[in-house]
Chains A and B, each alone.
Chain A
Amino acid sequence: GAGVSQSPRYKVAKRGQDVALRCDPISGHVSLFWYQQALGQGPEFLTYFQNEAQLDKSGLPSDRFFAERPEGSVSTLKIQRTQQEDSAVYLCASSLAGTFAAYEQYFGPGTRLTVT
C-alpha cells in the first residue's frame, strides 16, 4: 500500500519567508509525528497528533513553528519568518497506534528545507 508522502521534497526559502510543508500519512494511521533532522544527527521530535488533536508540541523550537491536522489525516507544518537555523530535513511519520500503545512509526521521504 501507499506509504507516507510529503511535499515538497525540496524547498529553498529566503530568510524571513513563510513556508508550509505537507504530510499525507498512511491511510488509517491514527498518530502522526513531525521530526526535524539536522545533518549528522538523528531525527528530533517536534510534535504529535492523535487524529486531529495535537497532543504534544513540546519539541517545536519556537512560536514561529505551527502544525495542524484539521481532519485527522493530512498535516501541515508551517514555519513563519524562516531563519537559517531552520535549514534541515523535516520528516513526517505515522503510526497505527493511539495513546498508550507504542506501535512502529513509518517515515515519509522528508522535505529538505534550505533557508538562504
Chain B
Amino acid sequence: RKEVEQDPGPFNVPEGATVAFNCTYSNSASQSFFWYRQDCRKEPKLLMSVYSSGNEDGRFTAQLNRASQYISLLIRDSKLSDSATYLCAVNMVRMNTGFQKLVFGTGTRLLVSP
C-alpha cells in the first residue's frame, strides 16, 4: 500500500459547484497534514495546513479523520481559477531522530468549466 493515496481524477465540475477530494495515509503516527495546489509547470504552493480536526479558509475546508486515516479538502462555489492539481502531503517524523519529510500523493486534478 502506498504511504499516501489520492484519486488522480480529473474531476470536471461546473463553476459554482462544490467538490471534495479525499486522501488516505498509511502511517497512523503522522501528525501534520497539508494540502498544496500545483498549477501546470509550476511549483506546489501551500494551500492549507491541517493540524488537528480541520480548518476553514474562505471557500476551502480541510478535515482530518484520524480513525479512518484520511484527510479531505472541500471547495465550495468553485471558480475557473481553482483549476489545478491538488496535492495531499503528510509529514512523516521519525520520533527517535526527529528527521522529517513530506510524503505526497500523486495529486488530484480539478477542472472547473464555465
Q: B101–A48 contact, CB under 8 A?
A: yes
- Asked if A80 is at the interface of the complex by the 8 Å CB criterion, the answer is no
CA distance A99 to B36 in the complex (A): 22
Residues of B within 8 A of A100 (CB): 93, 98
Which of B4, B87, B97, B101 has the most chain A CB atoms inside 10 A of its CB?
B101
Q: A45–B44 contact, CB under 8 A?
A: no
CA distance A45 to B46 in the complex (A): 17
For chains A and B in complex, what number of residue pairs have CB atoms within 8 angstroms?
61
Q: B43–A107 contact, CB under 8 A?
A: yes
Residues of B within 8 A of A65 (CB): none
B45, B99, B103: the one within 8 Å of A99 (CB): B99
Contact digits for B79-114, partner A, Cβ 8 Å, 1 yes 0 no: 000000001010101000111111111110000000
Q: A42–B105 contact, CB under 8 A?
A: yes
Contact digits for A88-101, partner B, Cβ 8 Å, 1 yes 0 no: 00010100001110
Q: B106–A33 contact, CB under 8 A?
A: no
Q: B32–A91 contact, CB under 8 A?
A: no
- Asked if A40 is at the interface of the complex by the 8 Å CB criterion, the answer is yes
Given contacts A43-B44, A104-B49, A109-B43, contact A55 B107 (CB under 8 A): no
Q: A99–B98 contact, CB under 8 A?
A: yes
CA distance A31 to B91 in the complex (A): 13
Q: B100–A102 contact, CB under 8 A?
A: yes
Residues of A within 8 A of B91 (CB): 102
B32, B97, B104: the one within 8 Å of A43 (CB): B104
B residues in contact (CB < 8 Å) with A = 4, 8, 31-32, 34, 36, 42-46, 49, 87, 89, 91, 93, 97-107
A residues in contact (CB < 8 Å) with B = 31, 33, 35, 40-45, 48, 55-56, 59, 91, 93, 98-100, 102, 104-110
Between A and B, 6 residue pairs with Cβ closer than 8 Å are A35-B102, A100-B98, A102-B31, A102-B91, A105-B34, A108-B43
